[in-house]
Structure 1
Amino acid sequence: MAQSIVEAPIRIDTSRKIIHVDMDAFYASIEERENPAYKTQPLVIAHDPRQTGGRGVVTTANYVARQFGVHSAMPSQKALEMCPQAVFKTPNFPLYREVSAQIHQIFHEYTDMIEPIAFDEAYLDVTDNKKQLHSAVQLAHELQREIWRKTHLTCSTGISYNKFIAKLASDYRKPAGVTIVLPQDAEAFLLREPIEKFRGVGKKTVPKMHDLGIMTGQELYEQKELDLIKNFGKLGYILYRRVRGSDDRPVEYLRERKSIGKERTFGPFLQSTTEVNTHLKALAKMVAESMQGHQRHGKTLVLKLRYGDFVTITKRRTFTEFLPNDAIQFDQYAEEIFEDVVDEHFDSGIRLLGITMTGLAPLAFENITLPLYPNDN
């Protein structure tokens, strides 16, 4: 295959052995383990829309339900319409968290270089591992067997020299699959992947990609770097490298997030409280989802706003206990802070809004309120 002209140096480090572990339908599989009758029924992990007035979204679904088109992040009401016979099970996050901790203990039997992504997935750098195994494939198989032996749950693993390819590979043969992509096979593997599989290419980006004739990694590879940057900004710069097999991000096993937040710049500027509140709701939802995905909760909510005249205000509110990762609460507190700090600069409009949570701790660390006196209830 003819190589395109590379406009910027690309570095590819093939020295590492990285495994991406992705538990198969994690929450649903735990529920099936607890109640084997669910294995033959379409099981949806979500609040039953018939009891919530149609509200709620699907957390995950077992493979029986997926055959009906049910998938995570789908509105629960739509899942019910697609599969009227589905069993809806309210998520049991304390149990899922407990099982996740058990699985991470198993990871530590092989390596301490672990980067958790969510309850059900993590990156492991096994270049140098505790079992002294040279073969990452052998290690992945042993890891799967150990997880099954101790939890009766299956996982899929992707193995490669970087995180991007390892994550793509773990999704290649689900469930219970092991996929390895060697450096010499990376180009062929990436070029045939649909563009939707590339991390960062979401619902809003896919139509633009298709409009440009980019359907697979092959068409992405043929794009010039400057054109990708022009059309997609920073994402274009990243994708130009990813499709060439470059991703030097390390497995961040020592990372400790100090804050999680989202902010957005507006043009034209926001001119009314109604507009501000609408966007605060959207930001609060994104922050709540990100906090849940990183398995963190926090005690301090920070609101940031920048007026049209560039005057910037940052105001925080700290609570005695950890806040639940609830978008409605985040939005409520953000709106209250906004009402307290908004001033005459609002006449120039608002060009930026942001919500950040700090004072973070792992979700496994719970609030415990002890009674002051023996007879307190």
Structure 2
Amino acid sequence: MRIVLTGGGTGGHVFPLIAIARELRRQLPNAELRFIGPAAFGADALERESVVVRGIIAGKLPRYPTPRLLLELLKIPAGFIIAFWELYWFMPDVVFGKGGYGMVPVVTVAWLFRIPIVIHESDAVTGLSTRICARFAKEVLLSFPATTALPRLVEKRAHIVGNPVRKTLTQGNPQRAQQRFHLALKPVVLVLGGSQGAEELNSLMVQIAPQLATESEVIHQTGARVADRFAREIALVLEPYPDTLRFYHVVPFLDEAALADAYAVATVVVSRAGAGSIFELALTGLPTIFLPLKSAAAHHQERNAAILADLGAALTLSGANLAPHLLLGSVEHLLKDAAAREVFRTRFRAFAKPDAAADIAATTIRLGQRRS
């Protein structure tokens, strides 16, 4: 069976695709897997899973007026032409779209070829690309209950499966983490800004770094683009506090093995509220403070985090509550209160969907077999 995977070009799309690719291989070892989409991020990771990568140009309409608008408009027809070419010569049995602007040309052309389509929405607010592509899909799979902005025409084809997660992230080792990050024996606060970093979160952490590095140890994924600058800022702010810099570990990006070890050793997590991070953390059950990204499209991170807060599965700081002293107080509360951590751990794990990747792979294979 030939299967095409497609989606946008960030870690929030690529990492779930890796989980799905592994499940497709497990359930259908001889499947031919090909990714067609923006290949700027994660192409090498997909290729390591024996997925053939075919990069295309994909236009992304900016949410605000910008000089890039004309360039993005020119990319749109180019993306459709390249998608047509790639699908015509490969002619898959089924297409799986993981969301993001990169899947629009591929899904649309697949519909023209009458190829069955499965799409998945990660967030609690349906993105524009999903709303467009859902009309062409045989199956629409969702991560969150009560997902909003879903076209009424496709609601009957929608099913909640959760967000696919790489299960290896639960196989970290605390002793290996201690060696990898050169940790002492203090409680560990893991800070995750996403695969591309998060400027606001990084700024907040600079302001509370002296207190955190005194009371605990910090592993902070900053994003590769700002890692060097952030490391200099941390060194400067910790300079008046002797022997604290060695307790603040700045890392540009945590690959799969490093992230698994970081999860294994963490006591508390501070994270953005993207769906990928939420479902990974739910699988681990780690007590988490979510800081939703205000600029996220349709405020989907705020909606994601609100669902968990309503369930009592995590803490959320946003808007007027997103202040350094409140973040510090929340972290210190969780570090000191083992009973509170256990309550969050139990509720968060109950929210997890560990079989999401398997369920998505099974649905994709079933539709592909109908065409074969």
Tell me which interval the TM-score lies in, with the shorter structure as reference length: under 0.3
Whose strand fraction is larger, Structure 1's or Structure 2's?
1
Which of 1 and 2 has greater Rg? 1
Higher relative contact order structure (alpha carbons within 8 Å, sequence separation ≥ 6)? 2
Q: TM-score, normalised by structure 1?
A: 0.26
Q: TM-score, normalised by structure 2?
A: 0.26
Whose helix fraction is larger, Structure 1's or Structure 2's?
2
